[in-house]
Structure 1
Amino acid sequence: MRRRQMLMLMTATGVSACADRFHAPLMPQAADVGVVRQIFVATNRAPDPEGWFTAQRSEQLTYMTLGVAIPPSHKKGRIKNGFAHPDPQTDFTIATRRDLDGRQGFRTALAHTIRNAPPNRREIAVYIHGYNNSFFDGVFRTTQIIHDFDVPATAVHFSWPSATHPLGYTYDRDSVLFSRDALEQLLNDLRAANPKRIVLVAHSLGTMLLMETLRQIEIADPGWSKRSLGGVVLISPDLDIEVFRMQAKRFRNLPQPFAIFVSKRDKALALSARINGAGARLGNLRDPEALGDFPVTILDVSEFSSSNSHFTLGTSPVLISLLANSAPMDVAFQSDRSGRSGLLPGTVLTVRNATQLILSPDLLLSKL
């Protein structure tokens, strides 16, 4: 039964088990074809003989910058990957790679990038991938998010050692625990670069890694998250609601804004709940009362979700276009919660400290 459930989870997340997702060639000529986005990468995956990265764990972080070419045919919300044989006209492609000399090399390069960026782009946006992701899956998703949402920040991707297999859920859960110290080290390195703001974005099982790491930091240095971070975004969090509550209670103050994107139609999270023997996951939260003790903004995107979507925020072209080109997110993230309801593109529910926004395509369009 468990094997059948895991295969169903693979289908729900829309990930192929057949393609070789661990390999992609370096193609400098792709820079002449597509738009190139530069991202910083830190990974605690073990390297393969070709210099890329496997599902195996490493106790050392490896740092680099990658130039990812986005093909001319790219459509918002989609990532086309040719794996070992990409076509720069249609596929996301690695165009450049620069290896950095350890932790100090990473800090120096990142600080230089921040210092030389325009004043309105001196922020850092970090993306942490979820379950069943290869090194390249996470790199391409980071690039797609930064590009499609036109994020005015330096992009950083943390790649942790996922098994990259639908039957590797237990391995991935263990890798999350294994990776906490590595992510903590990266977060301290980001702060040392002196950006205007650091925003952390995590998806699926990556939200467990992020929350565990921040909890660990808060225990050692209470108030660190509030002092150091300019926002946290959890997308489709594959995280038990009771566990999240206990994690959040360790924070002196949750960093603001703190946004959680949920969907009641997320089939992958429904299956995860069955596998884990729980009634629900944070990412398919139905009642905001469970989070009423915390100053969080819950954004319900169920109306934009297909039944097999586990990443509605990043894969719905309509939602991407509307949120990237309008003010809803800015309004949702205002620290002053009073008087919002007339400005927000959806139904607003307030439960003590928590605010839930139930977004609707029709209501979003009416605000444009």
Structure 2
Amino acid sequence: MLIATTRTRSTVPGEMFNGERARTPAFADMTISIPPSKVRKEGEVAWPKRLPSNPATDFATIRADDLNIDEAKKWLSANVRRTPDGSVLVFIHGFNNRFEDAVYRFAQIVHDSGVHSAPVLVTWPSRGSLLAYGYDRESTNYTRNALETLFQYLAKDPEVKEVSILAHSMGNWLALESLRQMAIRNGRLPEKFKNVMLAAPDVDVDVFSQQIVDMGKQHPQFTLFVSRDDKALAFSRRVWGDVSRLGAIDPEQAPYKKDLEDNKIMVVDLTKIKSGDSMNHGKFAESPEIVQLIGQRISEGQTLTDSHVGLGDQILVATTGAATAAGNVAGLVLAAPVAVVDQDTRENYATHVGSLAGAGHTQSPAPKNCDQTRPTPSCKH
């Protein structure tokens, strides 16, 4: 997959990008190995149990190379030519996702959906903390121009014949705002932008109505995934002035039904689907049928999150009311030691403490005497 990100390059050995904001976008080429279906259920990410990963049983990073912008363009050109229809799939993750969370989840979606498009992951600066909702939201605004620039490039590249966009949770705000900017700047959206799939969008329903109007009459086919029992969006609604979030509406009720019909927006209601996600915020990642539906939607024209929430995280949510676990709050750092007891809680604990203390950032101190671009395990802290 091609990585396009506004995250800062990490100085921690084995960690490619962290959750802080970079001055300019960065690019990377990553190859992920996925174990056979006999050891993994569709819809699941087989997180590494030890390091190095065992490709026979776990997801494994085979290659991770930094690219400059010219190399990224060459990657895109070469991979688009390999597709049967000249198509690109852009995935934009949601709130509370670390870099590795987004990479492995997107790899799973591409694999399980059977899509043959060139895969492009847009990953924005998320601190991967339950309590960093405000920071994450502003990070999506910070990334709007960079994403629009990517969209503009895809629109102008003659080798790209079709673009599909899959966004989850807060990533929908970023996707919609960037499309809106592009439509206003160009007068309309390009015809090659065929499908935009909005999964559990954490977007004000009234603002969405205006965004659609601003995009003009020529806009992509929108497919909306909703679930009325989405606890993360229920909390977000309270935070944002008790206005309905787009991903939690009842599509059969007024005024939503008419608005959806007028804008020819397809709706997939996941309310009755059961899942292992306690927040009910990423149900269709665990449903092979829904993931395959995504693949069919793309062919016809990224839970997109995880529920790796430790016991300590559940207590934190219960006691602080910060039920905003709209994404994977654990995440396995690709080169970190594997925890033994309640791994999810231990990995998150330092981040939560930093957030509660009002720390300026949640990353580890920068190593000293290390190559800042490609750190090695031998550098000293």
- Using the size of structure 2 for normalisation, the TM-score is 0.70
- 1:308 corresponding residue in structure 2: 279
Residue identity opposite 2:70 in structure 1 = Q
Residue identity opposite 1:43 in structure 2 = T
Contact 2:6 2:22 in 1 (8 A): yes
- For 2:55 and 2:218, the matched residues in 1 are separated by 42
Contact 1:240 1:278 in 2 (8 A): no
How far off is 1:291 after superposition? 3.4
Q: Does 2:71 match 1:105? A: yes
- 1:320 corresponding residue in structure 2: 291
Equivalence map 1:144-183=2 (5 Å): 144-183=108-147
How far off is 1:152 after superposition? 1.8
The structure whose residues are more often strand, as a share, is: 1
Q: Does 2:105 match 1:141? A: yes
Residue identity opposite 1:69 in structure 2 = S
How far off is 1:111 after superposition? 0.9
Aligned match of 1:48 in 1, 10, 19? 10
- For 2:9 and 2:200, the matched residues in 1 are separated by 29
Q: Does 2:15 match 1:76? A: no
Residue identity opposite 2:281 in structure 1 = H
- For 1:245 and 1:235, the matched residues in 2 are separated by 17
- For 1:52 and 1:264, the matched residues in 2 are separated by 36
How far off is 1:292 after superposition? 4.2
- For 2:118 and 2:101, the matched residues in 1 are separated by 19
- For 1:221 and 1:161, the matched residues in 2 are separated by 27
Aligned match of 1:90 in 57, 63, 68? 57
| 1:45/1:166 CA distance change after superposition, 3 Å | same
| 1:189/1:74 CA distance change after superposition, 3 Å | farther
Q: Does 2:199 match 1:202? A: no
Contact 1:266 1:305 in 2 (8 A): no
Aligned match of 2:264 in 277, 292, 295? 295
- How many residues get paired? 288
Q: Does 2:26 match 1:59? A: no
Q: Does 2:193 match 1:229? A: yes
How far off is 1:121 after superposition? 4.4
Contact 1:205 1:239 in 2 (8 A): yes
- For 2:190 and 2:229, the matched residues in 1 are separated by 32
| 1:95/1:330 CA distance change after superposition, 3 Å | closer
Deviations 1:58-80 (A, max 9, x none): 12111111100112322111113
- For 1:208 and 1:324, the matched residues in 2 are separated by 20
How far off is 1:104 after superposition? 2.0
| 1:317/1:114 CA distance change after superposition, 3 Å | closer
Segment of structure 1 superposing worse, 77-86 or 175-184: 77-86
- For 1:256 and 1:218, the matched residues in 2 are separated by 11
The Cα RMSD (Å) is: 2.3
| 1:64/1:330 CA distance change after superposition, 3 Å | closer
| 1:315/1:274 CA distance change after superposition, 3 Å | same
Contact 1:305 1:316 in 2 (8 A): no
Equivalence map 1:25-40=2 (5 Å): 39-40=1-2
- 1:243 corresponding residue in structure 2: 207
- For 2:127 and 2:240, the matched residues in 1 are separated by 18
Residue identity opposite 2:172 in structure 1 = T
- For 2:270 and 2:63, the matched residues in 1 are separated by 35
Residue identity opposite 2:2 in structure 1 = F
Segment of structure 1 superposing worse, 185-194 or 89-98: 185-194
| 1:261/1:164 CA distance change after superposition, 3 Å | same
- For 2:56 and 2:141, the matched residues in 1 are separated by 39
Deviations 1:308-333 (A, max 9, x none): 32112222234335x379x7x589x7
| 1:319/1:214 CA distance change after superposition, 3 Å | closer
Segment of structure 1 superposing worse, 293-302 or 185-194: 185-194
| Structure 2: runs of 5+ lacking an equivalent | 302-381
